[in-house]
């Protein structure tokens, strides 16, 4: 289901958790939602799921308002870190409840997933480890096949093999049953290849929404003798510079055309890509001017010019 | 599974090109689907599709609607010609630069090449 958000504002008393977000999400894509602790990720998803009412602005999912709209919320699923938030006795009860709530529930698929994560219907949810509870959340989120499915850090406590099982199941089921999926995570390197688009939010505002491969292609690490790095990066958006004796490495954000890249190599500078996690760290740094420089850069950028 | 040095879709495209060059994939042979690549590499299918689109644009693959992607019959020769064209710039020139930087006389390099040639 597509999502349209205009000027969204969410206040908790005096505190503004979401401060004027406008964006739209397409049907049938996987979105990564990245933000530091307290940046507003969970608040935003709670509003999209209808758990919380917006303080201002509009939210439309599938073209309709969400809050207290059962027709829409039955098509939306938000999995918090440890599954559904209500106190549940047994795994069986969690699945029974999900089946009752989710019109597209696939019980056979749920059983297949339980087995894949080593869970049994008779297990007591309270006695499960954190990782097992996260896995139960994943089972409920995937088998529900909701047209808008959100996983809010649904990996907490999961070991690496279980997380890989989650990514594999998510991709396979997404390809078989297209829907809109939002994944919020701090494990950026592990998740980044799953995203078609990335949203980076910071202090309640949307900093970047971009195709993930395009975002990656915008970041370039320029390394070499400090004076030459400085000369080359003059006038470019530099997110961060690190120095090691006579050598400097600058993170440049923005498209570098072939002529510039050639010039860099000719002057003995090394060009390399920047991992999504590093881009994220520097696009959300509270001290930097860079975060503010991004939206204008972004608006002027050519989406199709991504051929590097 | 991937290094961080270039976008994933470019690495997939390079892998397919390498398979075409080595003969592992032949002209008019069907390649695995976007979804199979996405599942194998654990990446978003749109990213895998980008790799395929790049190869279609470059003439390495062609699309049969509703069936899948196939290797262009001319691709092996075209890729070989392209590699040959870049060989000196990509392989020889950096080697000469490296030899100079560390003080290996170019005569030694030529001697080595002659030795290898003699062995083959």
Q: Domain residues of chain B, as ranges?
A: 8-73, 76-119
Q: Can you give the pLDDT at residue A54?
A: 95
For residue A193, list chain B residues with Cβ-Cβ distance below 8 A.
2, 8, 41-44, 47
| Angle at which helices B93-102 and B106-119 cross, to 10° | 130
> In this complex, is the C-beta atom of A288 within 8 Å of any C-beta atom belonging to chain B?
no
Which residues have C-beta within 8 Å of that of residue A48, sequence separation ≥ 6?
Answer: A3, A5, A59, A61, A66, A76, A78, A148, A150, A182
**Interchain contact, B45 vs A172, CB within 8 Å:** no
A182-208 exposure pattern, b = at least 16 Cβ within 10 A, e = fewer? bbbbbebebbbbbbbbbbbbbbbbbbb
Which residues are CB-contacts of A140 (< 8 A; sequence separation ≥ 6)?
Answer: A77, A79, A83, A84, A94, A95, A98, A110
Answer yes or no: is A305 within a domain: no
- Report residue B6's pLDDT band, with 50, 70 and 90 as the boundaries: low
Residues A163 and A20 in one domain: yes
In chain A (308 residues long), the average pLDDT of successive 10-residue segments reads 96 94 97 95 96 95 94 93 66 92 95 96 90 93 97 92 96 97 95 95 95 91 94 93 94 89 88 92 69 43 38
The answer to whether the CB of A180 falls within 8 A of the CB of A149 is yes
Q: Does a structural domain hold residue A307?
A: no
Task: Give how far Cα B103 sits from Cα of A286, B6, B96, B99, Å.
Answer: 48, 32, 10, 6
Q: Where are the alpha helices (DSSP H) in chain B?
A: 8-22, 34-41, 45-57, 75-87, 93-102, 106-119
Q: Are residues A38 and A131 in the same domain?
A: yes
**Residue A48 and residue A190 in one domain:** yes
Same domain, A57 and A112: yes
- Whether A194 and B2 lie within 8 Å, measured CB to CB: no
- Domain total in chain A: 2
Q: Is A107 in CB contact (< 8 Å) with chain B?
A: no
Same domain for A139 and A21? yes
Residues A195 and A226 in one domain: no
Q: Which of A164, A166, A172, A175 to mutate to test the interface with B (most CBs of B within 10 A)?
A: A175
A199 and A221 in a single domain? The answer is: no
The backbone torsions φ and ψ at residue A61, rounded to the nearest 5 degrees and listed phi first, read -120, 125
For residue A86, the model assigns a pLDDT of: 60
CB–CB of B52/B7 below 8 Å?
Answer: no
pLDDT, residue A8, reads 97
What confidence score (pLDDT) does residue A81 get? 60
Given this model, what pLDDT does residue A303 score? 38
| Residue A297, pLDDT score | 40
User: Does ipTM come in above 0.90?
Assistant: no
| Residue A209 within a domain | no
**Domain span including residue A46:** 3-203
The answer to whether residue A255 sits within a structural domain is yes
Task: Decide if A308 is inside a domain.
Answer: no
Distance CA A9, CA A53 (A): 10
**Are A198 and A236 found together in one domain?**
no
Same domain, A143 and A240: no
Count CB pairs under 8 A between chains A and B: 48
User: d(Cα A265, Cα A293) in Å, to the nearest integer?
Assistant: 26
Q: What secondary structure, in 3-state letters, does chain A show?
A: CCEEEEEEEEEECCEEEEEEEEEEECCCCEEEEEECCCCCHHHHHHHHCCCCCCCEEEEEECCECCCCCHHHHCCEEEEECCECCCCCCEHHHHHHHHHHHCCCCCHHHHHHHHHHCCCCCCCECCCCCHHHHHHHHHHHHHHCCCCEEEEECCCCCCCHHHHHHHHHHHHHHHHHCCCEEEEECCCHHHHHHHCCEEEEEECCEEEEEEEHHHHHHHEEEEEEEHHHHHHHHCCCEEEEEEEECCEEEEEEECCCCHHHHHHHHHCCCEEEECCHHHHHHHHCCCCCCHHHHHHHHHHHCCCCCCCC
Reading the block at residue A138, the tokens are 């994943």
Res A305: pLDDT? 37
Q: Do A197 and A228 fall within a single domain? A: no
**CATH code where residue A45 lies:** 3.40.50.300
A212 Cα to chain B: minimum distance (Å): 9
Nearest CA in chain B to A304: B50
> Could you give the strand order of the β-sheet that contains A237-244, starting from the edge strand earlier in sequence?
A237-244, A247-253, A219-225, A270-273
Does the pLDDT value for residue B1 go beyond 80? no
End position of a domain, from candidates A203, A235, A260: A203
pLDDT digits (tens, 9 = 90+) for B68-110: 999 999 999 999 999 998 999 889 998 999 999 999 999 999 9
pLDDT value for A286:
65
Reported CATH class of domain B8-73 = mainly alpha
Q: What is the CATH number of the domain that holds A292?
A: 3.30.70
Query: pLDDT at position A11, please?
Result: 95
CB A150 within 8 A of CB A167: no
Do A118 and A225 have their domain in common? no
Q: Are residues A23 and A152 in the same domain?
A: yes
Pick among B44, B49, B53 to test the A interface (most A CBs inside 10 A): B44
- Predicted confidence at residue A300, as pLDDT, reads 38
């Amino acid at each position: 289901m597509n999502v349209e958000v205009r000027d969204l504002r969410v206040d908790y008393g005096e505190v503004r958790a979401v401060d004027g977000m406008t964006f739209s999400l397409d049907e049938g894509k996987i979105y990564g939602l990245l933000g530091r602790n307290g940046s507003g990720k969970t608040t935003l998803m709670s509003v999209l799921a209808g758990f919380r009412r917006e303080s201002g602005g509009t939210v439309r999912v599938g073209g309709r308002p969400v809050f207290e709209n059962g027709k829409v919320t039955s098509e939306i699923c938000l999995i918090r870190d440890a599954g559904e938030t209500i106190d549940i006795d047994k795994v069986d009860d969690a699945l029974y409840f999900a089946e009752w709530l989710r019109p597209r529930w696939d019980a056979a698929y749920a059983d297949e997933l339980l087995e894949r994560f080593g869970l049994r219907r008779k297990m007591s949810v309270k006695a499960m480890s954190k990782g097992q509870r996260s896995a139960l959340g994943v089972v409920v989120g995937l088998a529900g096949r909701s047209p808008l499915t959100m996983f809010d850090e649904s990996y907490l406590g999961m070991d690496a093999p279980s997380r890989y099982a989650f990514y594999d199941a998510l991709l396979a089921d997404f390809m078989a049953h297209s829907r809109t999926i939002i994944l919020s995570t701090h494990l950026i390197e592990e998740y980044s290849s799953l995203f078609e688009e990335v949203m980076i939010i910071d202090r309640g505002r949307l900093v970047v929404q971009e195709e993930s491969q395009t975002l990656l292609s915008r970041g370039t690490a320029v390394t070499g003798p400090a004076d030459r790095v400085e000369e080359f990066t003059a006038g470019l958006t530099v997110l961060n510079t690190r120095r090691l004796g006579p050598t400097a490495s600058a993170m440049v954000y923005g498209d570098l055309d072939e002529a510039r890249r050639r010039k860099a190599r000719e002057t003995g500078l090394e060009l390399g890509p920047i991992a999504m996690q590093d881009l994220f760290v520097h696009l959300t740094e509270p001290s930097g001017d860079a975060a503010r420089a991004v939206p204008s850069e972004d608006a002027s950028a050519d989406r199709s010019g991504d051929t590097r | 599974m991937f290094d961080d040095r270039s976008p994933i879709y470019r690495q997939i495209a390079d892998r397919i090109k390498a398979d075409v060059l080595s003969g592992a994939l032949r002209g008019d042979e069907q390649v695995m689907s976007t979804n199979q690549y996405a599942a194998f590499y654990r990446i978003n299918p749109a990213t895998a599709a980008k790799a395929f689109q790049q190869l279609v644009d470059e003439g390495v693959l062609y699309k049969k609607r509703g069936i899948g992607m196939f290797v262009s019959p001319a691709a092996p020769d075209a890729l070989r010609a392209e590699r040959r064209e870049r060989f000196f710039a990509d392989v020889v020139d950096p080697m000469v630069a490296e030899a100079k930087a560390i003080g290996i006389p170019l005569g030694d390099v030529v001697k080595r090449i002659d030795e290898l040639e003699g062995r083959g």
